[in-house]
Amino acid sequence: MTLPDILTRAPVIPVLVVDDVAHAVPLGRALVAGGLPVLEVTLRTPVALDCIRAMSGIEGAIVGAGTVLNRQMRRAAAEAGAKFVVSPGLIEGEGPDGPAPLLPGVATATELMAGLAAGFTHFKLFPANIVGGVDALKAYQSPFQQAKFCPTGGVGAKNAAEYLALPNVICVGGSWVAPADAVRAGDWDRITALAREAAALAPRAPAPVEG
**Active site members:** 40, 124
Cis peptide before 127 (omega within 30 of 0): yes
Report the residue count for the chain: 211
H-type helices in the chain, by residue range? Answer: 3-7, 21-33, 48-55, 71-79, 109-117, 133-141, 160-164, 180-185, 188-199
Q: Quick one: which of 197, 204, 207 has its CA closest to 176? A: 197
Q: What's CA 25's distance to the chain center, in Å?
A: 19
